């Protein structure tokens, strides 16, 4: 595993939040993105776009704004959804009692050799193989 980190969708969403009560999380998310040593997956980008533009969201982004952000996120190392990734996620899911979607994020981080997976949604400190889950907001 290398020193790169993998970012879960919630990190990207906090980086664009304008909610006053999420200011500290926004600053931390932006700091993680600025390291340049991040990795993402197709799933994370798709979830980001959906969550950022959904009509029921308070202050949804316009398609053009979200597209520009997605394009800027493409500067990071990127994991496509492949057959091998799906099989790896299905192996991880029952062993670590994760949802399929969280297991797919873990599998993507592992496929890219990321030792740290930043996520607010998974158990802080959990090790899954050589990847450790870290909640950057604690």
pLDDT in tens, 21-60: 999 999 999 999 999 889 999 999 999 999 999 998 888 9
Contact 96, 119 (CB under 8 A): no
User: pLDDT at position 17, please?
Assistant: 93
1-10, 29-38, 42-51, 106-115: the lowest-pLDDT one:
1-10
Residues whose CB is less than 8 angstroms from the CB of residue 39 and which lie 6 or more positions away in sequence, other chains included: 4, 5, 6, 7, 76, 77, 78, 79, 108, 109, 112, 114
**pLDDT higher than 60, residue 1:** no
Residues whose CB is less than 8 angstroms from the CB of residue 9 and which lie 6 or more positions away in sequence, other chains included: 43, 44, 47, 48, 51
pTM of the model: 0.92
- Give which of 97, 92, 94 is closest to 130, Cα–Cα: 92
Contact 5, 105 (CB under 8 A): no
Q: What is the mean pLDDT of the chain?
A: 94
**pLDDT higher than 80, residue 2:** no
The pLDDT tens digits for 60-72 are 999 999 999 999 9
> 3-state DSSP helix/strand/coil percent for the chain, to nearest 5?
50, 15, 30
CATH of 2-134, one of 3.40.1160.10, 3.40.50.720, 3.40.50.1010, 1.10.8.60: 3.40.50.1010
Helix (H, G, I), strand (E, B) or coil at 31: helix
Classify residue 81 as exposed, middle or buried by CB count within 10 Å of its CB (0-12, 13-18, 19+): middle
């Amino acid at each position: 595993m290398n020193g790169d980190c993998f970012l879960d969708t919630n990190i990207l969403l906090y980086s664009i939040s304008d909610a006053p009560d999420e200011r500290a999380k926004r600053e931390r998310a932006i700091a993680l993105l600025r390291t340049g040593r991040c990795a993402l997956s197709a799933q994370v980008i798709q979830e980001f776009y959906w969550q950022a533009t959904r009509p029921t969201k308070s202050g949804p982004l316009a398609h053009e704004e979200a597209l520009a952000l997605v394009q800027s996120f493409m500067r990071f190392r990127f994991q496509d959804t492949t057959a091998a990734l799906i099989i790896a996620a299905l192996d991880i899911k029952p062993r670590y009692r994760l949802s399929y979607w969280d297991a797919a994020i873990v599998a993507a981080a592992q496929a890219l050799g990321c030792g740290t997976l930043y996520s607010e949604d998974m158990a802080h400190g959990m090790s899954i193989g050589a990847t450790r889950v870290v909640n950057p907001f604690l």
